[in-house]
Structure 1
Amino acid sequence: MFSSKKKRKRRVEPRFEDGKGRRGAADFAVTADDRAAPPPRRSAKSGPKRRKATQKKRAGGKRTSRKVAARARGLFGGLVYWGFIGCIWGGIALAGVIAWYGAQLPSASTWTVPDRPPNVKIVSAGGDLITNRGATGGQALGLHEISPYIPKAVVAIEDRRFFSHFGVDPIGLARAMARNVMAGGLVQGGSTLTQQLAKNLFLTPERTIGRKVQEVLLAVWLEHEYSKQQILEMYLNRVYFGAGAYGVESAARRYFGKSARDVSLPEAALLAGLLKAPSRLSPNRDPEAAEGRAQLVLSVMRDQGLVSDSEMTAALAQPKTRASRYWSGAHHYVADAVMEELPELIGKVRRDVIVDTTIDLDLQKAAEAAVRATIAEHGAERNVSQGALVSIDMSGAVRAMVGGADYERSQFDRATEARRQPGSAFKPFVYLAALEQGLTPTSVRNDAPIRIGKWSPENYRGRYHGPVTLETALSKSLNSVAAQLIMETGPANAARTARRMGIQSELTANASLSLGTSEVTLFELTAAYLPFATGGYGAKPHVIARVTTLDGEVLYERRADRPRVLAPDLAGMMNRMMSQTVRSGTARAAAFNHPAAGKTGTTQNARDAWFVGYTAHLVTGVWFGNDDGAPMKDVTGGTLPVMTWRAVMQPAHENLPIADLPGYMPFNIIPGPRPERGPAPPVPQAGVPMASGNGSGGYVPPPPDRTMTSSTGGPRPPASVGGSNDAGGRSVLDVILGR
């Protein structure tokens, strides 16, 4: 047994040194002598005291770390707390801003999408579209009617998340804000299609915080009230595409000359690309920029899976789209006339309407081509820059109207607005007044120099022919005879006759009226020749035949109104004399295979050149001149106007039956004695038919002038004798060549 008092043996640890403190050969311990640097100084404290200090120091470090961590936790908690408080106050402030600007809007219960501005669809007599007019310039189409490429392209480039957001796209808005900050300016808007529609429908284009807040509120309301398809349809029918085109139909017509129903993929990409900057990217202004933007749209559509690689490749391979010159056609003069007259017929246009016009589109195009070709060929040489043409059928329907050489350069309508002196083209009314007082085409007057007060009218180039019949005097456009006739019948009587025939402009009743010194428009002068072609019936010239709504409701329809303004025998006499003008007079170049008649006119110093001619089917008037009244060179009514008239009338009569002019009498037949006549007829007022009941359809001829002598015969000079102010006996070739 072991005793508890037994002395415990001392444990001996193994050492690598001898008892004297010396190392052995196998000693691996490192001493101070083995160190490269001297050992650190030891603190005076050693042993237990040092260990306590070290432990105390370590405890202090732990306490410091805990304090830092606590402070960090406190700071983070403070940030979270105050951030939360800030969010609350920010939300309250945002709600206040929304409430403030929202309160400036009408009550939400009264919000309604305003009606789209009405469109006026103007069509030809054959039903073909002439153009669209109105604030939008095109009719509204349903989404199912529009080419499917258009909505795909617009959504792809303008609002790729359109079908998933609630009217506002937070992701797109954040991305736009980031890009704007990086760019240091406004480079991207971040508005959705719904926001753009809200702005276009309800707000002004100003860029303010208040407008943006209202835009968001309205966009959310639109999303709540309408489906995505309805919103997209409204957007496509109202958005601006540049060049005055609002809506896809107007834009497609304007840039491509086709309906939005028929737009191809590359064309749709071009339209969608315009939305970023309609004016700057217009294919009319910068085709290269428009094409580059269209290619970007195609690339985005492919990335979003809206078109395949093959479709994109095929689209890029197509020739570059070239926008047509929308405003260059003369049919816009017709559209202007329609829009000016329309409110008088139906009042203010409040909904989409269709206007059926009387225009023959083929004749309209031929007339425009003829006027432009004449100016292009002879303009520089003859110093002529403008021309106009009006063609009217026997009912008064305007079949063609050209108001100038180029509508794009000048929208002033020289057919309906420009008042110019008609020159000798006014003489038929002077001769008609003489016939109404008892003279006949074979009555003779002496063509010689005369003096009326201080005025001495002269013939063209001072040539006179002695005794001539009225028929010859009119066909040769002899000024001396016309002046004699107006003094015999009275200037006021000639003015009343012209107004009865259709002249609306103010006429100065003096002797010089016989040579056409009072200004008229081509439109009214052409219409005033209509009773000659119809055998005595007048008709108010008109372009609009009917106006209907899209549902077929008739808002206006023209009723026939053809009062008799001229006795049939007098119409026959005038046709006899003016057909001689085409046969052998100043308008010989107008002759073609249909019986025709008319009168040329040239004003002093060749400032204006006219020809109004007609057949049994059409009356057409032509004018050439310069807007500033500058004289032309070697241009008379018998040259450029006659040439242009024939270029239009001959093809227009290709499929029409040949018909004699009403009341036309052979030249070897002389009418019998004129019967006694009643009082002069009243001057007809616009819209008021002539009185009837006298057996002549409302016309009551004036009494004969008993002081005049008439002749049943007389010498007629040969056709080669000239001397009028409309080239006289010279041929058109002589005039053109300056012989």
Structure 2
Amino acid sequence: MSDNGPEVDPPEPAEPLPDAALGAETPPEADALSDADAPTPEPEAEPEPEIEPQPDPEAEVIADTDPEPEIAPQPEPDVSSAPVTAAADGPPPIWMRRRWQIGAGVAALFVIFMIWLVGSLPLGQALEPLENPTLVLVAADGRPIAKRGSYKEEPVEVAKLPKYVPGAFIAIEDRRFYSHMGIDPKAIARAMSANAKAGGVAEGGSTITQQLAKNAFLSNKRTLRRKAQEAIIALYLEARLSKDEILSRYLSSVYFGDGAFGLRAAARHYFDKTPETLSIGEAAMLAGLVKAPSRLAPTENLQGARERMRIVLGAMADTGLISKAQARSAGRGVRPYGGRKPIPTGSYFADWVIPQAKAAMEASYGETVVKTTLDTNLQAQAEKILARALDRDGKVLNAGQGALVAMRTDGRVVAMVGGRDYKVSQFNRADAARQPGSAFKLFVYLAALREGWTPTSPILDAPVEVSGWKPKNHEVKYAGRMVPLITAFAGSSNVAAVRLAKEIGRDKIVRTARDLGITEPIPNDLTLALGTGPMSLVQLTAAYAAIDAGETPVIAHGLADWRKPKGVHKLGKAELAGMRDLLRSATQRGTGIEAAIPGAFGKTGTTQDYRDALFVGYVGDLVVGVWVGNDNNASMNGVVGGGLPAKIWKEFASYAVARNAPKATLVEAEPVVTEELAVPELPLDGTLPEGVEAPAAADAPPGAPAPPTAPVAEPAPAAPPPAAAEAPRT
């Protein structure tokens, strides 16, 4: 039996025909009739009149042949009852024409798709570096503080690898890789059978080529459409690339867990080796990760990775790549490299600085190391102090969260705590917009100093009404007379701040805030004087840093190689000296006395119903902002800016000063000018300096919009919390 089927005897040759039969020509019509079918002769009819025949040209050509036998005419069939059939040479029916049109359209679309695929599919995409490579953030001292993103190194070439390395992947993922054309029907049938028996997805039928198509060009969605696209691209890849090229691209792009893409990155990450130096067991472990990289990563699940490795070694022995003895011994002692300490994937500071780092990055292989401004010692201390304060007082005061940001006078952030515990909540409260309360008065008073006011200029501390709005001081206490600006600022008088805002105008206050780097929207009415416009603690602290630095704006940043933008302006000597005197008065004799340490300048802030409490200030070249409150905006139990926030600020600033940490910047600030002050220590009891006349009380601005419920000012820390429902703004 041959490959073409059973053998059969050849047919016997036919007998030769007589010569007469070969020479005589039989009319086709006569051949079609048998003797039995010959027509019966009709009786002779009466002769018709003779008509002279016309010569027939064809008759002359065949004159030598016998006359054609006469055949009686057949009666015409009755077509009235016969079924109607299409003529053989007539047009096709409409339904057939439509089918042809649809088929032609589908074929045309397929051809167009294949042309598009050939022209647009980026075959080198699997070898390209990642758009978002691994980013390793290091502190100012070079210590790694966070690692984010995916990791990919240079591509591998199969020809340069030991045979058992690519062989391990072929043995476990696609044994028929070198014999199929991108799609393996046998593997698909086997997978369908296994999945049917298991009642779910127990086995996959995708080839290595299909996996490359999915990894490089498609999403991970499990849909029929995606599988169809995967199959088409796989066929195209097989037609365009060699098997080794396909395998090289696959090994260079497949995911191995822990953010490692590609064999070279995985070998470096897990074993601190190159792919060319992997052992049989290490190659088998890496090949085993492809099935479930996140679940089987040996850094997290060493036992699972080893069990999978043994399965791969068995498959390698089954294919003859290694011996069974090698399969039994190759996996002994295989474990991931333990020389690296795990790096946290994130922190409040890392989350804040990564967008700055990515803006200056390009796609690359390997890891990108970025040096930041973070001081790890100050960062650890900030986390400890804030957590301890909230643990100690938070429950009694109903203060559930807090934030702290510390920077140098040039904006270099050295510590950032965005909440109580990053593992519990990654929401960065240091960068969230909250109302600053009376901490915003920095901009009101600085705008006045720019307009020629001085710390001794008088302002009326008495009730005021603005279009139905009646701002109040804390505990509804007023001096009832003219007081110096420094007295109003130190005691955080709300009515004085509103009167001052009316005198100098909203536009000048907004311009001052913008000059100091505030970018958040600012209210259009006089409530802005009491800090009703939300802004982040980072921006607010940077604005206070501008007073310390003597120049504007100061932009908070976290990258060590950050460059100061153009357009920085020096503050005027008189306004700078006056503002520093105001800030010093608040910490020495005013609402911020709980933050008093030598050389401290700052301001308190508290919002309506005790929802937010802040203290922002500086000492030396260190500027610190502290906030406490609740994520749900719930009221705290009488917490004011001069209370818990000021205490946290003082503890952290005292540690930094005692540690004498190296300065991150040497911005020279203008010296404090005291010549303009009438007396060495300005009075806080409302007494005007000698020779200063009290002007008439300022009227409420006509037509001012009605603001929300009026805030009030906070007391000095020694005073008990107010019993009134309205919370202070300080």
TM range (shorter): 0.5 to 0.7
Partner of 1:69: none
Asked if 2 retains the 8 angstrom alpha-carbon contact of 1:194 and 1:223, the reply is no
Partner SS for 2:124 = coil
**What does 1:38-77 align with in structure 2 at a 5 Å threshold?**
77=5
After TM superposition, give the deviation of residue 640 of structure 1 in Å.
3.4
Asked if 1 retains the 8 angstrom alpha-carbon contact of 2:638 and 2:722, the reply is no
After TM superposition, give the deviation of residue 434 of structure 1 in Å.
2.9
- The answer to whether 1:428 aligns with 2:442 is yes
Asked if 2 retains the 8 angstrom alpha-carbon contact of 1:423 and 1:602, the reply is yes
Partner of 2:474: 460
Asked if 2 retains the 8 angstrom alpha-carbon contact of 1:295 and 1:316, the reply is no
**What does 1:195-210 align with in structure 2 at a 5 Å threshold?**
195-203=210-218, 206-207=223-224, 210=228
TM-score normalised by the chain length of structure 2: 0.62
Asked if 2 retains the 8 angstrom alpha-carbon contact of 1:390 and 1:400, the reply is yes
After TM superposition, give the deviation of residue 426 of structure 1 in Å.
0.9
**What does 1:151-550 align with in structure 2 at a 5 Å threshold?**
156=168, 159-160=171-172, 165-166=177-178, 177-178=189-190, 180-181=192-193, 184-185=196-197, 186-203=201-218, 206-207=223-224, 210-211=228-229, 213-214=231-232, 216-217=234-235, 220=238, 224=242, 226=244, 230-231=248-249, 233-236=251-254, 239=255, 241=257, 245=259, 247=261, 262=272, 275-277=290-292, 290=301, 293-300=304-311, 312=332, 315=335, 326=345, 330-336=349-355, 342=359, 356=370, 358-360=372-374, 362=376, 363-364=378-379, 366-367=381-382, 370-371=385-386, 374-405=389-420, 413-416=428-431, 418-443=432-457, 445=459, 447-464=461-478, 469-543=484-558
Alpha carbons of structure 1 residues 537 and 291: separation in structure 2 relative to 1, 3 Å: same
Partner SS for 1:576 = helix
Alpha carbons of structure 1 residues 124 and 618: separation in structure 2 relative to 1, 3 Å: farther
Give the alignment partner of residue 119 of structure 1, picking from 109, 118, 132.
132
Asked if 2 retains the 8 angstrom alpha-carbon contact of 1:486 and 1:514, the reply is yes
Partner SS for 1:503 = coil
Q: Deviations over 1:259-280 (max 9, x none)?
A: 5565999999998665434567
Q: Distance in 1 between matches of 2:488 and 2:672?
A: 18
Partner of 2:612: 608
Asked if 1 retains the 8 angstrom alpha-carbon contact of 2:190 and 2:205, the reply is no
After TM superposition, give the deviation of residue 734 of structure 1 in Å.
13
After TM superposition, give the deviation of residue 138 of structure 1 in Å.
2.0
Alpha carbons of structure 1 residues 99 and 333: separation in structure 2 relative to 1, 3 Å: same
After TM superposition, give the deviation of residue 110 of structure 1 in Å.
7.1
Q: Deviations over 1:278-307 (max 9, x none)?
A: 5676899xx7xx555323124346656789
Q: Distance in 1 between matches of 2:448 and 2:640?
A: 26
Give the alignment partner of residue 725 of structure 1, picking from 692, 701, 713.
713
Give the alignment partner of residue 141 of structure 1, picking from 149, 153, 163.
153
Alpha carbons of structure 1 residues 664 and 733: separation in structure 2 relative to 1, 3 Å: farther
Q: Distance in 1 between matches of 2:379 and 2:609?
A: 31
Partner of 1:621: 625
Alpha carbons of structure 1 residues 437 and 316: separation in structure 2 relative to 1, 3 Å: closer
Partner SS for 2:579 = helix
Alpha carbons of structure 1 residues 221 and 406: separation in structure 2 relative to 1, 3 Å: farther
Partner SS for 2:627 = strand
Partner SS for 1:184 = helix
Partner of 1:598: 602
Q: Distance in 2 between matches of 1:250 and 1:639?
A: 56
Q: Distance in 1 between matches of 2:404 and 2:153?
A: 36
Gaps of 5+ in 1: 1-72, 81-97, 547-556, 674-708, 715-722
After TM superposition, give the deviation of residue 210 of structure 1 in Å.
4.2
Partner of 1:632: 636
Partner SS for 1:392 = strand
Q: Distance in 2 between matches of 1:79 and 1:381?
A: 102
Partner of 1:92: none
Q: Distance in 1 between matches of 2:327 and 2:566?
A: 59
Alpha carbons of structure 1 residues 268 and 663: separation in structure 2 relative to 1, 3 Å: farther
Partner of 2:27: none
Partner SS for 2:574 = helix
Q: Distance in 2 between matches of 1:325 and 1:650?
A: 29
Alpha carbons of structure 1 residues 211 and 450: separation in structure 2 relative to 1, 3 Å: closer
Partner of 1:579: 584
Q: Percent identical across equivalent pairs?
A: 31
What letter is aligned with 1:331?
A: A
Q: Deviations over 1:346-387 (max 9, x none)?
A: 9xx666795856531525555455555555554444333443
What letter is aligned with 2:716?
A: G
Q: Deviations over 1:165-219 (max 9, x none)?
A: 5385999985774465356355222445454223211345545774464354356
Q: Distance in 2 between matches of 1:655 and 1:250?
A: 45
Q: Distance in 1 between matches of 2:691 and 2:368?
A: 57
After TM superposition, give the deviation of residue 604 of structure 1 in Å.
0.9
Alpha carbons of structure 1 residues 456 and 514: separation in structure 2 relative to 1, 3 Å: same
Computed over aligned residues only, the root mean square deviation of the Cα atoms, in angstroms, reads: 5.5
TM-score normalised by the chain length of structure 1: 0.61
Partner SS for 1:622 = strand
Q: Deviations over 1:494-534 (max 9, x none)?
A: 33322332222332354333221233332332222222101
Alpha carbons of structure 1 residues 281 and 222: separation in structure 2 relative to 1, 3 Å: farther
What letter is aligned with 2:501?
A: I
After TM superposition, give the deviation of residue 141 of structure 1 in Å.
1.6
After TM superposition, give the deviation of residue 571 of structure 1 in Å.
1.3
Q: Deviations over 1:217-248 (max 9, x none)?
A: 35646862755884365134xx2748xx4626
Asked if 2 retains the 8 angstrom alpha-carbon contact of 1:434 and 1:489, the reply is yes
Q: Deviations over 1:620-641 (max 9, x none)?
A: 3232323432212232222333
After TM superposition, give the deviation of residue 393 of structure 1 in Å.
2.5
Partner SS for 1:388 = strand
After TM superposition, give the deviation of residue 613 of structure 1 in Å.
1.3
After TM superposition, give the deviation of residue 140 of structure 1 in Å.
1.8
Partner SS for 1:730 = coil
Gaps of 5+ in 2: 9-106, 317-321, 680-686, 693-710, 724-730
Partner SS for 2:152 = coil
After TM superposition, give the deviation of residue 578 of structure 1 in Å.
1.1
Asked if 1 retains the 8 angstrom alpha-carbon contact of 2:256 and 2:297, the reply is no
After TM superposition, give the deviation of residue 601 of structure 1 in Å.
0.2
Q: Distance in 2 between matches of 1:566 and 1:302?
A: 73
Q: Distance in 2 between matches of 1:432 and 1:355?
A: 41
Q: Deviations over 1:548-588 (max 9, x none)?
A: xxxxxxxxx74543622521232122222212323343333
Q: Deviations over 1:2-35 (max 9, x none)?
A: xxxxxxxxxxxxxxxxxxxxxxxxxxxxxxxxxx
Asked if 1 retains the 8 angstrom alpha-carbon contact of 2:387 and 2:420, the reply is yes
